[in-house]
């Protein structure tokens, strides 16, 4: 479906991605990765070799220059085929590339960004904890400075991709608990540091990257591993809620956009192939209406996602646009996928068809990266609605 007047470089990128996906990520292989909870590192390396992780890295650090729209398009295309590959890409281009560029120290930019662009260096987010969900400023994991080092203790939950990442981007409490926002720090914890243990968490979808409970027992890192260097000590909250969280919201929207597009395409084809009562089910009016509805809703999701991306790209205030995109796209994409599943009847529920995977993957999108309820709070607050 032609969606807008796309600049030429984006059309070229989309074509390149689709060729790569068709060749390296065929559907049967993607199903196997999902079934076996496997991260295809060779395919991921192919993306790195194409320069795609460098889309968030400035040329002076070895990338191709920051292009948020191209990054969002890459997430959409990959998510339309495989969340295992898509989430690995996000861990590099977004979690590592964008955060270090925006809030890292110059030394971190110099040493880590070239690795994002050329090696696909990955971070895993360590914000959530067993008792910490939406209220991430209440983290209990601690960091103390001792003899020129940082010593970390505590437990993180839902660290997606922790075992394939090189660092956990961990939010920890670095001062007295009373001063809620001014005693948090972000620390880059190498995933192979002594004192870290991993416990896998089984989930319904998003398989391939794996998600883990991560325990820190006297884990010791360098002071240089504080995000932003020594100036970042106790400044973690400001670093977390800046541009990084805005981009995270549209990353999740782009994942939902990709999954729901694949669902619409599959249902559209299936409805023309499947015959009942002597004719394709696509000729039944209620099915036609469902198909028209999902196409229309998807188009709205596409416009909202890329509109929010363009505001981030232009460095304009993007809190509201990104929250609206996250809210609308994730909730709507979930409805789209469930409708597509209904169109496919029993085969939307069967192993061996991709629809059941789309359903499992889409259900988490309104939860991740700030739930839909949290986005509604953000929108009402940012637009100044009195409490
Ligand atoms: C597959 C998967 C992967 C994940 N990956 C990561 C990761 O890599 N790193 C990471 O740090 N975390 C990760 N998470 C955690 C995810 O970010 C959290 O699930 C999310 O922040 C919500 O927290 P919670 O589930 O504990 O819900 P809670 O915060 O306990 O909320 C429960 C319910 O209450 C609602 N609620 C809470 N507070 C409010 C409020 N103030 N106003 C209105 N409603 C509210 C929520 O919307 C939700 O419906 C992952 C989770 C999953 C399932």
Query: For residue 248, how far is its CA from the centre of ligand 1 (angstroms)?
Result: 14
Same domain, 17 and 42: yes
Query: For residue 201, how far is its CA from the centre of ligand 1 (angstroms)?
Result: 15
Same domain, 263 and 369: yes
Cβ(203) – ligand 1 distance below 6 Å: yes
Cβ(159) – ligand 1 distance below 6 Å: yes
Same domain, 265 and 186: no
Summarised one tens digit per residue, pLDDT across range 299-337 is 999 999 999 999 999 999 999 999 999 999 999 999 999
**Greatest pairwise CA separation for the chain in angstroms:** 79
Pairing outcome for strands 142-146 and 196-201: unpaired
Say what percent of the chain tops pLDDT 90: 95
Same domain, 249 and 372: yes
Q: Residue 345 sits in a domain of what CATH number?
A: 1.20.140.10
Does residue 376 form part of some domain? yes
Identify the residue whose C-alpha is closest to ligand 1 atom 27: 133
Q: Residue 133 sits in a domain of what CATH number?
A: 2.40.110.10
Same domain, 204 and 270: no
Does residue 225 form part of some domain? yes
Count of domains in the chain?
Answer: 3
Does residue 155 form part of some domain? yes
Same domain, 221 and 251: no
Same domain, 300 and 352: yes
Same domain, 291 and 327: yes
Q: Which of 169, 201, 235 is the last residue of a domain?
A: 235
Average pLDDT over residues 188-209: 97
Identify the residue whose C-alpha is closest to ligand 1 atom 38: 134
Identify the residue whose C-alpha is closest to ligand 1 atom 39: 374
Cβ(206) – ligand 1 distance below 6 Å: yes
- Give the confidence band of 293 by pLDDT, cuts at 50, 70, 90: very high
> Which ranges constitute the DSSP H helices of the chain?
8-24, 27-36, 41-49, 68-79, 83-89, 99-103, 106-119, 236-240, 243-273, 285-313, 319-343, 355-362, 372-382
Does residue 308 form part of some domain? yes
Identify the residue whose C-alpha is closest to ligand 1 atom 16: 368
Q: What is the mean pLDDT of the chain?
A: 96
Same domain, 213 and 265: no
Q: What is the value of pTM for the model shown?
A: 0.97
Query: For residue 165, how far is its CA from the centre of ligand 1 (angstroms)?
Result: 21
Structural domain that includes position 299:
242-382
């Amino acid at each position: 479906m032609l969606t807008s007047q796309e600049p030429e470089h984006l059309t070229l990128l989309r074509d390149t991605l689709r060729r790569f996906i068709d060749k390296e990520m065929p559907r049967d292989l993607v199903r196997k990765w999902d079934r076996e909870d496997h991260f295809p590192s060779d395919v991921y390396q192919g993306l790195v070799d194409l320069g795609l992780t460098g889309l968030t890295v400035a040329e002076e650090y070895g990338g191709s220059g920051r292009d948020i729209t191209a990054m969002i398009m890459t997430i959409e295309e990959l998510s339309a085929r495989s969340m295992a590959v898509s989430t690995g890409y996000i861990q590099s281009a977004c979690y590592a590339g964008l955060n270090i560029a925006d809030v890292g120290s110059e030394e971190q930019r110099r040493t880590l960004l070239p690795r994002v662009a050329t090696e696909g260096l990955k971070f895993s987010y360590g914000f959530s904890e067993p008792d910490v969900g939406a209220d991430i400023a209440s983290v209990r994991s601690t960091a103390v400075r001792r003899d020129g080092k940082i010593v970390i203790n505590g437990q993180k939950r839902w660290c997606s991709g922790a075992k394939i990442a090189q660092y956990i981007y961990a939010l920890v409490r670095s001062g007295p608990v009373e001063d809620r926002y001014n005693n948090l720090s972000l620390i880059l914890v190498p995933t192979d540091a002594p004192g870290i243990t991993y416990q896998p968490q089984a989930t319904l979808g998003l398989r391939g990257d794996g998600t883990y409970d991560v325990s820190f027992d006297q884990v010791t890192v360098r002071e240089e591993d504080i995000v932003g260097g020594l100036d970042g000590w106790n400044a973690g909250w400001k670093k977390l809620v800046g541009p990084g969280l805005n981009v995270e919201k549209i990353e999740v929207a782009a994942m939902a956009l990709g999954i729901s597009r694949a669902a619409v395409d599959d249902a559209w084809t299936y409805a023309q192939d499947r015959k009942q009562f002597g004719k394709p089910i696509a000729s039944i009016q209620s099915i036609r209406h469902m198909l028209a509805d999902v196409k229309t809703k998807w188009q709205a999701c596409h416009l909202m996602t890329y509109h929010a991306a363009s505001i981030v790209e232009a460095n304009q205030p993007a809190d509201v646009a990104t929250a609206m995109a996250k809210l609308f796209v994730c909730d709507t994409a979930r409805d789209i996928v469930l409708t597509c599943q209904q169109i496919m009847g029993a085969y939307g529920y069967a192993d061996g068809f991709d629809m059941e995977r789309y359903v499992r993957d889409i259900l988490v999108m309104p939860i991740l990266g700030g739930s839909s309820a949290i986005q509604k709070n953000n929108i009402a607050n940012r637009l100044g609605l009195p409490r």
